[in-house]
A = this chain, B = another copy of it.
Amino acid sequence: MDVREVADAADPRLADYTRLRDVELRKSLETERGLFIAEGEKVIRRALAAGYPARSVLLTRKWLPALADVLGGVTVYLVGDEVMREVAGFQVHRGALASMERLPLPPVGKLLAGASSVVVLEDIVDHSNIGAIMRCAAALGVGGVVLSPRCADPLYRRAVKVSMGTVFSVPYARMDDWHGGLAELRAAGFRLLALTPAHHAAPIEEALERARDGKVALMLGSEGDGLSSRWLSQADEPVRIPMSGEVDSLNVAAAASIACYLLTRRA
């Protein structure tokens, strides 16, 4: 552990941590530098345990003892509360941040090769929803998550935080091609079930029962519009969670919880 005190929020060594709530800035900065931010002791521990290398860690003094045991070989910048707030752009309650190196994502084909059930997300752009879905997938043991090209980044700080760092334990991959992306799943032997609130769709448990001996890819769309008509038309079967009918559909995170539960208890 290499501990350095930094007194100036403008110090270039802290640039990885700049303005953490500025979504546009962060997207470009994290892409260019190939990093993501882990926030809080538990999440930082999980990121390290999952094998992501730390570029550096930024701590207020009181957090050093809590993390010291896992920071061997890591450069630690120690700052005061005020510098932390100035750099990050808000009051970081759990005064521990780590800048982690991203690892290459597996190709979709490799992810599919090791899984019998996957969740496929189309254009879920909300980081909290992505984090919540990844947490469910991790807790329930889904084999993997496939993201459409426009899905939000599961390693964005907010998503990682909502997932409680469980995002590190779910294998996931991102399609290059939205238009033809589902063909690869079908070629890999997956039956494509498209979750929709449409009344004509089959109850999800019935469809899963019919597919019980095969591989299943469960497709979920964005909260506002649901799955695109292209993806719906390419699915093998539309499926629905039966509802009481008087109210709006479940939100996507709730629907994903139920779907992941039903998907994984088949095993």
Contacts and interface: CB of A to CB of B under 8 A. Distances in A.
B254 A136 contact: yes
Contacts of A75: none
A132 B247 contact: no
A: interface residue count bin: 20 to 34
A243 interface: yes
Contact of A257 (B164, B166, B257, B264): B257
A116 interface: no
- Which of A141, A205, A243, A261 is most buried by chain B, counting CB atoms within 10 A of its CB? A261
A188 interface: no
B257 A254 contact: yes
A166 B244 contact: no
B169 A135 contact: no
A265 interface: yes
A250 B135 contact: yes
Interface of A: 132, 135-136, 138-141, 164, 166, 169, 205, 241-251, 253-255, 257-258, 261, 264-265
5 contacts: A138-B247, A205-B265, A241-B261, A250-B257, A255-B257
Given A253-B254, A255-B257, 9 more contacts: A132-B251, A132-B253, A132-B254, A135-B254, A138-B246, A139-B254, A164-B248, A169-B247, A242-B265
